[in-house]
Structure 1
Amino acid sequence: MAQNMDTHYPEEAEYWLNWVTKLLRPLHCTEAESVELLSYLFEKEADLWWESVLRTIPEGYEWTWEALEARFNEKYLPQTYQHERENEFLRLQQGGMTVAQYENRFTELSRYASEMIASEAIQMRQFLAGLRSSIRSKMCCAIIRTYAELVELSTRAE
């Protein structure tokens, strides 16, 4: 059963594409088969959009997954949306969230800033910077080697 994609909300479109990608992975399809299967899952506005894209492509054009994903992202995940999520990640603070909630949001938004947290050390520094000061201060003397350790210690310090 296909999961519906709400084309008015970039986040929904992104989750939908991730869902489809995950669905196709165990089928071990060729790239062309994956593109064709994905195109069958488009509904309503997305189906109309896809048909309009196909009309502009020369006959015999061989779609790659990367090309389809790029077109999809141009339409449903505009650069402004991606930049907003990146900025949200950079400004993320724990505030009233539990450490688990903060870590979930941190992980969710980190995909928009992957080049900014290219190493685990930078990822840890960014996570630590967003923690409430009462938790962050308890981390100052701890020897923390991994991101998972940092999250675990932060949760215990809560």
Structure 2
Amino acid sequence: MGCPDSQRVSLTTFTLEGEAELWWQSVKKEAGLSIVWSWSMFSDKFDQKYFPDSIREKMVSKFISLEQGALSVAQYKSKFVELSCFASNLISTSSMKARKFEKGLCPSLRNRVVPLRLPTFEEVTDRAKIIKANFEEMNKTRDQPLRRQDNRNKRKGGLTQKFHPSKRLARQGSAIQEAQ
């Protein structure tokens, strides 16, 4: 969000509902009216309440072991982004994020994306989607039955003509005689 921390806190807390809204009201009352909440202060309190250490550790573990598997590239990216917020210290730069994403790609995609050494997460995800789409297109055309039309074996009425070397030679011979 492109706004100051104080407004960011106001905008976020405005959207809280139910139990979360009641929690925020009690936190503000407990802290007193004189405190101006920074985003860091708010997010720390919120995480302590709704994401205890045990859950965060579990999410970091899930992030570390995350692989594409049977997920589409888009689904893998979505899961990656969802879990990455719990492990921001592991992927503190765009390049680190890109390398971690590459490591989790299925081998057929990883082998084509890694050598490109794309610098950002977005470039890696976009290229992986393109390569996957190309794979699917190739598989689609490869799986279609081959339709060869061999004009030598076609005949009027759909019957096939058998190859007879003696008849061919006879035709060639008569054509040579006519030419002379």
* Fold shared per TM-score above 0.5: yes
Once the 2 structures are TM-superposed, how far is the Cα of residue 144 of structure 1 from its aligned partner?
Answer: 2.8
Matched, 1:77 2:51: yes
Q: How far apart in 1 are the matches of 2:68 and 2:26? A: 44
Partner AA of 2:34 in structure 1: Y
Equivalent residue for 2:37? 64
Q: How far apart in 1 are the matches of 2:85 and 2:109? A: 25
Which consecutive unaligned segments of at least 5 residues does structure 1 have? 1-21
Which consecutive unaligned segments of at least 5 residues does structure 2 have? 133-180
Contact 1:120–1:146 under 8 Å retained in 2: yes
Instruction: Give the number of the structure whose alpha-carbon radius of gyration is greater.
Output: 2
Contact 2:102–2:114 under 8 Å retained in 1: no
What is the aligned length?
131
Matched, 1:120 2:104: no
Matched, 1:89 2:63: yes
Written as runs of structure 1 = structure 2, the 5 A alignment for 1:4-153 is 31=6, 42-54=16-28, 56-58=30-32, 60-66=33-39, 67-153=41-127
Contact 1:35–1:63 under 8 Å retained in 2: no
What is the Cα-based RMSD across aligned positions, in Å? Answer: 3.0
Q: How far apart in 2 are the matches of 1:149 and 1:34? A: 29
Q: How far apart in 1 are the matches of 2:49 and 2:86? A: 17
TM-score (norm 1): 0.63
Q: How far apart in 1 are the matches of 2:92 and 2:29? A: 40
Which structure is richer in relative contact order (CA contacts within 8 A, separation 6 or more)? Answer: 1
